[in-house]
Chains A and B, each alone.
Chain A
Amino acid sequence: MPRRVSIGMATIFIVCILWFCATTLFGLIPSGRFPSPAETWSALIHVSGRGYGGGDLTLHVYNSLRLVVMGFLFAIATGVPLGLLMGWNRKAEAIINPIFLIIRPIPPLAWIPLAILWLGLGDAAKIMVIWFSAFVPSVINTFAGVRNIDRPVIEAAYMLGMPKTRFVGEVLIPGASPMIFTGLRLSLQASWTTLVAAELVGAFYGIGRVLNVAQQDLYPGMILVGMIAVAILGWGTTRLLGVAESRALRWNTAALAAKG
């Protein structure tokens, strides 16, 4: 096991010990404020077994994950092409940019009331809000990625007689891809943030729903289970994206390694 990983594991282990000491062992934190490890564990058993807030843990996780993935995919499927267009075509940028200037300062969560008004409490409203929040980082970073491509590289493509149809796939997208992936990572983070917020406001299933019900029930153990679940899902999906990134950018990792 690499040294970094073992140190990291040790840190987590120590935090758990401290947590145990502060709650169960010395009672420094009352269990009404923050749950002990045992209470958290029993809440986990509770939601996995009998279920809580309208379903068991698998159902909640499945619903949250599904919405995030759909919203995220929808956002990047629209955001990346728009970023490419704006990066490449100055006219398109001039036309579209003002809309962005107006929309950007609005926090994505501020769209939730409107989304619920339009689409109700079901999936569609949440996907829309996730789309709104994840869309912007994809567009902006893709745009910046295109603008950052070395001018001589683009000229070299022209000089080599590259047809327009291949130019997008072989120059524009790979050239912008390091920044595109930065955008995707930010989009994914935004997707999770927004999802939980949207589910807190109103949902039938999902981790946000668990958090919301647990808060009303004054059930700190369950709140912590929900938070940990979001953390693990966020970490896992980011990790998956990281794997895709290192596959796609193998040439770039070589570049970074060469620079030391």
Chain B
Amino acid sequence: MGVIQFKDVGKIFGPRDSGFVALQDINLEIRDREFVAIVGPSGCGKTTCLRMVAGFENTTDGVVSVDGTPIKRPGPDRAVVFQQFALFPWKSVYDNIDMGLRNLNVSGAERASRIDAILNLMNLTQYAKHFPHQLSGGMQQRVAIARAYVLDPDVLLMDEPFGALDAQTRVVMQEELVRLARKNPRTVLFITHAVEEAVYLADRVAIMTRAPGRIKEVLDIASVRNAEAWDSHEKIEDVMDLESFVHLRTHIWRSLREEKAAQHV
């Protein structure tokens, strides 16, 4: 199971009465094995939402919980993929992926077989002995995703994971993530400011506004995807060409732009 719940969540950085209000009245439930993306402008607090689920940040008001248990600290049941990869540069690819399993006291034989499987799945087998810096950005992020997936976590938290990659690599990674997510669905909270990425990957998209950070709208993508059979297209550009995709994308764009216009008045 992996149900993430935000209940009346608020976050103020600094003193309660005079600090910066980052988040206000966040209510969102992410169902088991559902892929939810949060989109919004920089500084809207979307990353803070993820960091609260990860246990890196406390709430000022309200509760963030997974399967009904309020979150107190980080842990391997909620695997995080960071924007800047955050691999251990002094450990080989293999040892990076092994780290979480070792901490969970998984037996040696099982660790080896799980790592081999994920290396194979992510096309990393031949790089197992490399150090992170010897790999390209896309490869490093692949290692970071493998490091998270190998734990078989209830919840996967991805904080703009493709934000640091070039456009081509990004597309490849998005396709791979879809492949992975459909084959082995997890509860995923995915943070991005790229609207197309959100529509392509997620079952639902939450649109956030800034100052204070609020959820403005939650859009159902999965029903459209299934109705229009997006997954029958192998390539991302084919999906992005579909009328149903364009429609959703444009809707989100408008929603974000209205917000910007409203702020300028």
Contacts and interface: CB of A to CB of B under 8 A. Distances in A.
Contact of B88 (A158, A163, A171, A250): A171
A3 B86 CA distance: 39
B80 A156 contact: yes
A152 B87 CA distance: 9
A171 B91 CA distance: 10
Interface string B59-87: 00000000000000111101110101011
A152 B99 contact: no
B235 interface: no
B221 interface: no
A251 B73 contact: no
Contacts, number: 75
Contacts of B103: 160-163, 166
A258 B100 CA distance: 27
Contact of A155 (B76, B82, B87, B104): B82
Contacts of B74: 155, 158-159, 161
A158 B54 CA distance: 10
Given A161-B75, A161-B103, A163-B103, A155 B86 contact: yes
B179 interface: no
A83 interface: no
B73 A252 contact: no
B99 A162 contact: yes
A259 B91 CA distance: 18
Contacts of A174: 88, 90
A254 B133 CA distance: 7
B141 to A, nearest CB: 13
Contacts of A258: 133-134
Contacts of B86: 150, 152-153, 155-156
Contacts of B90: 174-175, 177, 251-252
Contacts of B80: 155-156, 159
B13 interface: no
Contacts of B55: 158-159
B127 interface: no
B253 interface: no
Interface residues of B, number: 27
B104 A161 contact: yes
A158 B72 CA distance: 12
Interface in A215-260: 250-252, 254-255, 258-259
A156 B151 CA distance: 13
A255 B131 CA distance: 8
Interface in B78-122: 78-80, 82, 84, 86-91, 99-100, 103-104
A160 B84 contact: no
A171 B82 CA distance: 17
B249 to A, nearest CB: 30
B56 interface: yes
A155 B56 contact: yes
A48 to B, nearest CB: 45
A159 B89 contact: no
Contacts of A254: 131, 133-134
Contacts of A160: 76, 99-100, 103, 147, 151
Contacts of B84: 150, 152
Nearest to A259: B133
Contacts of A158: 55-56, 73-74
B76 A255 contact: no
A153 B133 contact: no
Interface string A138-182: 000000000000101101111111110010001100110100000
B95 to A, nearest CB: 9
Given A159-B54, A160-B99, A162-B103, 6 more contacts: A152-B82, A153-B88, A159-B75, A161-B100, A171-B88, A254-B131
30 contacts: A150-B86, A152-B84, A153-B88, A156-B80, A156-B86, A156-B87, A157-B88, A157-B99, A158-B55, A158-B56, A159-B55, A159-B74, A159-B79, A160-B99, A160-B103, A160-B151, A161-B76, A162-B99, A163-B103, A170-B88, A170-B91, A174-B88, A174-B90, A175-B90, A250-B131, A251-B89, A251-B90, A251-B91, A251-B133, A255-B133
